Structure 1
Amino acid sequence: MTAEVAVRRAGGLPRLVALRLVAGLGVLLAVSAIVFTATELAPGDAATAALGPDSDPASVVAMRTELGLDRPAVVRYLDWLWGAVGGDFGVSYVSHRPVSDVIAERAGNTALLGGLAVVLLVPLAIGLGVWSALRAGRAADRIVSGATLGLVSVPEFVIGTVLVVVFAVQLGVLPAVSFVPPGQQPLDSPEILVLPVVTLLAVCLAHNVRLVRAGVREVSAGDAAENARLNGVPEHRVVLRYVLPSALPPALPIFCRYAGFLLGGALIAETMFGYPGLASALVTASAGRDVPVVQAVALVAAAVTVLLNLLGDVLAVLLDPKRGVTR
């Protein structure tokens, strides 16, 4: 690396991080406003959801006053936003517990589910993508390409349903529901994690295998790799020294975006298998018009996505300075 490139990279990376952080804060603010507005426009509120449609109007009014729902929407939103800046997401309208406690209970479960999927995603996507690209046109490449194309074309809920039918109903080797008894943790019964993790992983893996395959094929056919082969450099060294350093950095931001999807807890996977994560908490809170919980979950998911996108951009700059100094 030349001194000029080093200086430019040192100056460009902090600027990139600062710009991304400012943009991320704007995204979080927009997400909070959109979610709050959507819940306000939905019919009913937490009081009517809790008491039912046939409840006494006076009881509904009393509960609305107790929950603070009689205040103007803008005031309620600004109060919640000010508290969220200090880490206070308010109190759940339904359970009357601090929202931070609700998030803390579910976030660990979601992080476990998404983390397992990420740990499997990265090596499998890189390994299968490289293996397929280096065997372009052969039977192995056609099998991998056909399988990934098929997975990309199938919705996530269909994959989950097929997995349940095969492994839970027909074979009976895995549970169909990822139920966690009170007082226990998901790792106490690791078999309940298998089907949700595979469901989460399937579509993400297919996309990323195809991404890595395309990048490796392009770089492998380039002048640098071909010249190295003509000079007698062994193929494995060509791949490690010339192909991967150029093919992987462009894929890193995409990897991180998918990691954000996985760590955020896929809504379909968690609700399909009854897994007690953030996504299922969001569904329950939405049904009960529990606005503080809905906003907090949405904000946490958006923050994870923003940070992982930032991580992907930073890694891409560090591994390939040309990507960073031109921004």
Structure 2
Amino acid sequence: MVKELRLALIGFGTVGQGLAELLMEKRDWLRAAYGLDARLVAVATARSGFLARAEGLDEAELLRIAASGQPLTAYAAAGVKRWPTVREGLVATGADVLVEVTGTNLRDGEPGLSHIRQALEQGIHVITANKGPVALAAHELLALAARKGVQLRMEATVMAGTPVLSTLLEGLAGARIRALSGILNGTTNYILTAMSQGRDYSEALLEAQRLGYAEADPSADVEGYDALAKTLILAALVFGLPLRAEQVQRRGIAGVTQEEVRAAQAQRRRIKLVASLRLREGVEVSATSPSGQGPALPVEARVEPVALPLEHPLARVDGVMNALTVECDTLDSVTVIGPGAGRRQTAQGLLADLLAIARTRT
């Protein structure tokens, strides 16, 4: 028996197009292996508004239009309807799953936060790769999803398609996690790797920008804000803690010097930007009994350059790769290593979440 899931895709940039490519490429295999007919029935962008077609949209045609630089309103199939905003389009058409992949905004989470809230209120499952809404409001959004009897899944927000959130929540079910430490930003890891090979910070940053690993304004990466957002997501999902940004000790890599790198190497250490969450001694935290308000936090949360000994599992994770080490009571230490960004890689995280939702539907 084949299950149909109707998808509304909000955002059609790099990640949205990556998902459209995977859906098109894997359509027959998804039907055969998973009994899933994932039908894209709506797509929305700020430029083109919300387009929907009950019979489904042709991903190849959407990708062709996007590649040509035209607005998606150039899609001319019969039966396509358009609304100027996502809010109006979702109210009018609905969907089984909203895939929210608009750009990350770490200031207030918008417009993604409003998109996700509305979909959950309408009883629509949500999958997102957008760090802003879940970093700032994961607790609220997860509670809303639970009240509405739908799922909010966010595998792609932390390490793209590398299965780290599902490992923590499902693969390590039953384990008591004591601490997490990770390399969660590929740009800074690339820069620090280049510095370990003798280049200074400014030279390594320019190289990262030339290769497309760093933005023209790299501050979100090099000042640690991207890694901080992922730390907030992990705190909410693993420890049930609605931490705020100011409760995380943050220091980026802009101040790391070649002299510090060489000094670390002389001591058989490597400098890495490490995001960490560690339970304080004698404190138990339940994901169903969240705390985290007030001055006495049950976890220590940090994002900072750390000189790791070479035997540490994160010390030799180089280039743009990401990794997360988990300390727990049953397996002691587990490290997951994989790509933390990329068009196809992030789309894989979204696809995995879609299949997880499909498995729960009757």
State the TM-score bracket (shorter-chain normalisation): under 0.3
Higher relative contact order (CA 8 A, sep 6+): 1
Counting strand residues as a fraction of each chain, which structure ranks higher?
Answer: 2
Larger Rg: 1
Counting helix residues as a fraction of each chain, which structure ranks higher?
Answer: 1
TM-score, normalised relative to structure 1: 0.23
TM-score, normalised relative to structure 2: 0.22
